[in-house]
Amino acid sequence: MSKVEQRYQAAKERYAAIGVDTDHALEKLKGVKISVHCWQGDDVKGFMNPDGELTGGIMATGNYPGAARTPKELRADLEKAFSLIPGKHKLNLHAIYVDTDEKVDLNEIEPKHFAPWVEWAREQGLGLDFNPTFFSHPMFKDNYTLASPDKEVRDFWVEHGKRTRKIAEYFGRELGQTSINNFWVPDGMKDNPIDRFTPRKRLMEALDEIFAEKLDEKYTREAVESKLFGLGAEAYTVGSHEFYMGYGITRGKLICLDAGHFHPTEMISGKLSSLALFGKGMMLHVSRPVRWDSDHVVLMDDELVEIGRELVRNDLLPHTHIGLDFFDATINRVAAWVVGTRNTQKAFLKAFLEPTAELKKLELENDFTSRMVITEELKDFPYSDVWNYFCEINSVPVGFDWFKEVKSYEKNVLLKR
């Protein structure tokens, strides 16, 4: 028996004593698929423009060496990251990540421009999710895309949106896993608008136009992602939380909550139970806000743990698509993926290792003392011994060992770019 397994057996006994079956928790964890975002690998540049500058709507900062410059490099980096993450997952692509020799614009993309991704995903046993790219483009005009007062601008982006649906449908059909196509639209204003209403009406109508054609939900489903404010849209974001709550519920779309898109003290964990009652399903962008900014690497903080608990305790995982969304260009990008993904998995494991039924019973009996004592004692339980065993049985490195591999990949591959 390996050391890791010995420790697992000891942990198993301790959890069994409070009515938790660790083997069952590991089974459950295995079923949790994370949609890993491609854009941490190259600071959201994509491969559509040769210089790939972020020119509006979104911003990444930092210049750590080794960013992927081609689809091939990005896939190599992703393979490295996935080899250090237990389980089988999905890759989340953005429209700017075309893989083709043809010069194509966002309003011209077709499934064939993504064929190498599909081939690779099939080989790797990964599903593919997708996102239209409503930023970093000359048609992002005066901070607007779909909400623009200029019909020519709107039409360009409507066409783009429609095309991404066909591409997501193609991913779903080819790979046999529903491809979630997530719409995030940065449109907004730097300073106080006079008219908040009309841009929202235009956004609603443009989205309706994009979604007019019915596609088979077996292959693709759409999500809509809100935001409170962003760089250059400090005073007003057209696609706010209320906007997309209404839109998603009335149009049967998944509602995407990004953990970094709310007021600094407003947490998405508290919203899941309500959304689950009224919406058609949820998508998460697991991320981390820091003061006014979002998109930091996911760390094991209280909110992450709470997100895991909410989804597990209320059995919401079947209705929730878990995606990651962060891009830090000041650190090793493969390490960023591994830390963020493994942390997200660990948060679910912590939740699976809770005696939930017992805690719910105590709560119903108004025994709030026991509720507090158990949840606090549980924080010191050896969940990491269970996690390490999960890594071992899934043939990925345990503990710091994964970082050694990233370091040598950095030395042998990334620093040579």
Active site residue 285: yes
Which of the residues 233 through 252 are near Zn ion (CB under 5 A)?
A: none
Minimal distance, residue 256 CB to Zn ion, in Å: 7
Q: Which of 285, 321, 346, 350 is catalytic?
A: 285
Contact call for residue 44 and ligand RNT (CB under 6 A):
yes
In three state form, how does the secondary structure of 62-73 look?
A: CCCCCCCCCHHH
Q: Are 121 and 212 in contact (CB under 8 A)?
A: no
Distance, CA of 38 to CA of 384 (rounded, Å) = 28
Q: Does the footprint of ligand RNT cover residue 337 (CB under 6 A)?
A: no
261 is in an annotated binding site: yes
Q: Which of 325, 328, 385, 410 is catalytic?
A: 325
State both tokens at 303. 């909110």
Does 293 show up as a binding residue in the annotation?
Answer: yes
Question: Does 129 help bind Zn ion (rule: CB under 5 A)?
Answer: no
Burial class (CB in 10 A: 0-12, 13-18, 19+), 7: middle
CA distance 218 to 360: 35
Query: Is 113 annotated in the active site?
Result: no
What is the Cα–Cα distance from 11 to 353, expressed in whole angstroms? 11
Residues 350 to 409: which contact ligand RNT by CB under 6 A? none
Q: Which amino acid is at 242?
A: E
Please report how close the Cβ of residue 227 comes to ligand RNT at its closest, in angstroms: 6
Least Cβ distance, residue 325 to ligand RNT (angstroms): 5
Among this protein's residues, is 292 annotated catalytic?
Answer: no
Strand partners, 322: 34, 284
Does residue 390 contact residue 349 with C-beta atoms inside 8 Å?
A: yes
> How buried is residue 75: exposed, middle or buried, by Cβ count under 10 Å (0-12/13-18/19+)?
buried
Annotation says 258 is catalytic? yes
Question: Token pair for residue 65?
Answer: 């060496």
Q: Cα–Cα distance between 36 and 92 in angstroms, integer?
A: 6
Query: Using CB under 5 A, which of the segments 203-211, 309-317, 325-333, 371-379 binds Zn ion?
Result: 325-333
Q: Does 285 bind Zn ion (CB under 5 A)?
A: yes
Residue nearer to ligand RNT on the CB measure, 184 or 262: 184
Binding site for Mn(2+), by residue number, is 261, 293, 295
Residues marked active site are found at: 184, 225, 227, 258, 261, 285, 293, 295, 325
Q: Tell me which residues touch ligand RNT (CB under 6 A).
A: 39, 44, 58, 94, 131, 184, 225, 227, 230, 258, 285, 294-295, 325
Binding residue ranges: 261, 293, 295
Applying CB under 5 A, the residues found at the interface with Zn ion are 258, 285, 325
